[in-house]
Amino acid sequence: MCGVTLAGIVAGTAYQPAGAGADSAETATVAAGNRLDECTPAIDARLADPSRSTLLPEGGDVSGGQAAEYERQLREALRPLRGHEAEPTRVVPVVVHVISASDGRGNLGDWQIRRQIDVLNRAYRGGYAFGDEGADTGFRFRLREINRTVNDGWFRDFSRQRDEIRERLHRGGADTLNLYTTKLDSGLLGYSTFPQDQKSHPKRDGVVISYDTLPGGDRYRFNHGHTATHEIGHWLGLFHTFQNGCDEPGDYVDDTAYEREAASGCPRGRDTCRRDPGEDPITNFMNYSEDACMTHFTRGQGKRMADHWRAFRSGANEEEVDPRRAALATGRSSGDVRTTAEPDGTVEGEESLD
| Cα 273 to Cα 260: distance, rounded to the nearest angstrom | 6
Annotated catalytic residue, options 26, 231, 259, 261: 231
Do residues 286 and 213 lie in contact, with contact meaning Cβ atoms separated by under 8 Å? no
* 3 state DSSP class of 210: strand
What number of H helices and E strands is found in the chain? 7, 10
| Cα 227 to Cα 335: distance, rounded to the nearest angstrom | 26
Smallest CA-to-CA distance from 349 within 180, 181, 148, 154 is with: 148
Instruction: Confirm whether 231 is a catalytic residue.
Output: yes
Run of H or E residues at 112? helix 110-124
> If you ran DSSP here, which 8-state letter would residue 311 be given?
I
| Cα 272 to Cα 261: distance, rounded to the nearest angstrom | 8
Smallest CA-to-CA distance from 241 within 283, 203, 184, 187 is with: 283
Q: Would the CA dihedral through 99, 105, 106, 107 be positive or negative?
A: positive
| Cα 144 to Cα 157: distance, rounded to the nearest angstrom | 26
Q: What is the dihedral of CA 76, 248, 198, 185, to 10 degrees?
A: 170
Smallest CA-to-CA distance from 174 within 220, 119, 237 is with: 237
Smallest CA-to-CA distance from 319 within 128, 147, 94, 115 is with: 94
Smallest CA-to-CA distance from 87 within 218, 214, 236, 204 is with: 236
> If you ran DSSP here, which 8-state letter would residue 97 be given?
E
Report, as residue numbers or ranges, the catalytic residues.
231
